Chains A and B, each alone.
Chain A
């Protein structure tokens, strides 16, 4: 089946029931997206399908044939995405494992809500767990990303 990942078309030879995350990591070598729980409980595997955040660990690849998938590797091209810049400025990361998912979730939020309140940030990112507990810095970074994007 055809899969468009980060703007590039791929021919993927896997059963349609294979989770998208497996295809991204094991077949396309895009290991930025992480495996956390395998059942949409933690958000580490968050990618975008047509700009909407989805959990790639529970999404059969057959369901997204021909659709546009964006991973953390494809979030920005020439220059860093405002969320990535804000993440660096705010020094969010501790161990870093959940961060690709956090960043993809934050970017999806800012697509639909350019100036989110703290409540909006909490509601949008509450499905993305961070075992280091960087939540305060994540929230600050989303606010900063909103400023950068609006500047």
Chain B
């Protein structure tokens, strides 16, 4: 027959064993840092609002269009000369973006109304339009993260892209007569990293 003393002893033993198991687990995982989000989801969502504002700035969204005719100017009017996206995002055959847009802005001394330039001037290809215009914050966020839509970029590659790609950077040096993207690029890239570090949460 069990006594209350036996039962007490058993409980002590179970607690001790449980504690040892927990300790063992803790020891086992201590070698690999736990994937604890260093940044909260709330902070990530707040940072994405800055990302959204940049992506939906005219310098960026004028080429991230739902149709096939790029836009120009702050008001986003259709690009003069009936310019088209073309089969690869680089313009119509025979009338490439590179017909007028070269690898750098023209000299500032030439004044306004000159075609701007940056390396690899192009739109997204028609198969993956990466539409930034007229979409909600949540839709924009999900498109941005979708590797089937974004050219196969994971979050690290996206961060690298927005931090260093020369066509992206052009948005902050758009040439005479055009407002650069706001806020400054360094702030945008920092917010983008916060969003990535938070696990890239998307607004509903």
Are A109 and B102 interface neighbours, CB within 8 A?
no
Knowing A39-B114, A60-B107, A63-B104, the reply to whether A123 touches B98 (Cβ < 8 A) is no
Are B93 and A109 interface neighbours, CB within 8 A?
yes
The distance from the CB of A102 to the nearest CB of chain B, in whole angstroms, is 12
Which residues of the other chain, A, contact B92 by a CB distance below 8 angstroms? 120, 123-124
The distance from the CB of A15 to the nearest CB of chain B, in whole angstroms, is 9
B101-112 interface code vs A (CB 8 A; 1 in, 0 out): 011101101100
Interface residues of A in 106-136 (CB under 8 A from B): 106, 108-113, 116, 120, 122-127
Which residues of the other chain, B, contact A113 by a CB distance below 8 angstroms? 93-94
Are B96 and A52 interface neighbours, CB within 8 A?
yes
Are B114 and A40 interface neighbours, CB within 8 A?
yes
Which residues of the other chain, B, contact A60 by a CB distance below 8 angstroms? 102, 106-107
Knowing A127-B83, A127-B99, the reply to whether A17 touches B94 (Cβ < 8 A) is no
The distance from the CB of B19 to the nearest CB of chain A, in whole angstroms, is 72
Interface residues of A in 52-102 (CB under 8 A from B): 52-55, 58-60, 63
Are A123 and B107 interface neighbours, CB within 8 A?
no
Which residues of the other chain, B, contact A5 by a CB distance below 8 angstroms? none
B65-101 interface code vs A (CB 8 A; 1 in, 0 out): 0000000000000001111101000001111101110
Nearest A residue (CB) for B92? A123
Instruction: Please give the number of chain A residues whose Cβ is less than 8 angstroms from any Cβ of chain B in the complex.
Output: 29
Which residues of the other chain, B, contact A106 by a CB distance below 8 angstroms? 94
Are A58 and B100 interface neighbours, CB within 8 A?
yes
Is B134's beta carbon under 8 Å from chain A? no
* 26 contacting pairs across A/B (C-beta < 8 A): A17-B107, A39-B113, A39-B114, A40-B99, A41-B81, A52-B99, A53-B99, A54-B102, A55-B115, A58-B110, A59-B102, A60-B107, A63-B104, A110-B94, A111-B94, A113-B93, A113-B94, A116-B94, A120-B92, A123-B82, A123-B86, A124-B94, A124-B95, A125-B94, A125-B95, A126-B82
Interface residues, chain A, with chain B CB atoms under 8 Å away = 17, 39-41, 46, 52-55, 58-60, 63, 105-106, 108-113, 116, 120, 122-127
